[in-house]
Amino acid sequence: MLDEILKSIVEMEEEEAIKKAKEYLDGGGDPQKLLEVCRDAMGEVGARFEKGEYFLSELILGGEIFKQIMEFTLPKIKSGSVKKIGKIVLGTVKEDVHNIGKDIFKVFAEASGFEVIDIGIDTPEEKFVEAVKEHKPDIVGMSCLITAGVTSMKKTVDKLKEAGLRDSIKIIIGGGRVDESVKEFTGADAWADDAAKGVRLCKQLIGVEG
């Protein structure tokens, strides 16, 4: 079933993909596994885009299909009353409008007891600084899927330093464009390219068992 869902998304069969995803969940399927498969499908869509086999229209439609599946899948991950363990200010960085991964990480973090303040996409450095001043989070999370966003992340870390806020927070970066070298370059404390790992790292960063 999951293989069929992946294939339907990659082939842009919107109705079929959504129907099968609903059937999978109705049959007791694991929502987390479903999201992982959707993500793999988007990886393939991205690869075809890079090879010139798909165009922007397919990126848009792929994103739309994923968003529709997320709408009925994410509420199944949200857990009722969990003990609050910390606060995260989260945003997709300046120049970058990809929101799907950020939104998934948010739900995973909330399900684990983090309060998440979502400051949106294409977020200017100053907006992160203002949000940290206002909400006094334990962690700042930045999502980044495109190369242009790497510089934005570094600038954001620098602005937080200039504002004297860097030492009061931990910074985690996430998304398809981050790795150890990007972490080093930006001056973040941790990086993750999947939401579950990201939440585990956030717990470690604030000294809660992961």
Return residues touching ligand B12 (CB under 6 A): 39, 42-43, 45-47, 49-50, 56, 59-60, 62-63, 66, 95-102, 104-105, 141-143, 145-147, 172, 174-177, 192-195, 198
Between 82 and 97, name the residue whose CB sits nearer to ligand B12.
Answer: 97
CA distance linking residue 84 with residue 202, whole number of Å:
13
Decide: 152 and 144 in contact? Cβ < 8 Å.
yes
Nearest Cα residue to 172 out of 200, 147, 151: 200
Between 81 and 182, name the residue whose CB sits nearer to ligand B12.
Answer: 182
Write down the least CB distance from residue 197 to ligand B12, Å. Answer: 8
Between 20 and 77, name the residue whose CB sits nearer to ligand B12.
Answer: 77
Structure tokens at 107: 């739900």
- Name residues whose C-beta falls within 8 Å of residue 193's C-beta, 6 or more positions apart in sequence: 174, 175, 176, 178, 179
Write down the least CB distance from residue 170 to ligand B12, Å. Answer: 11
CA distance linking residue 173 with residue 183, whole number of Å:
7
Decide: 34 and 18 in contact? Cβ < 8 Å.
no
Write down the least CB distance from residue 163 to ligand B12, Å. Answer: 20
Between 20 and 182, name the residue whose CB sits nearer to ligand B12.
Answer: 182
DSSP run (H or E) holding 141: strand 139-143
Decide: 184 and 95 in contact? Cβ < 8 Å.
no
Q: Is 147 left (phi over 0), alpha (psi -120 to 50) or beta?
A: alpha
Between 81 and 188, name the residue whose CB sits nearer to ligand B12.
Answer: 188
Write down the least CB distance from residue 33 to ligand B12, Å. Answer: 12
Structure tokens at 117: 């303040």
Between 29 and 173, name the residue whose CB sits nearer to ligand B12.
Answer: 173
Handedness of CA 17, 120, 40, 59 (dihedral sign): positive
Write down the least CB distance from residue 8 to ligand B12, Å. Answer: 15
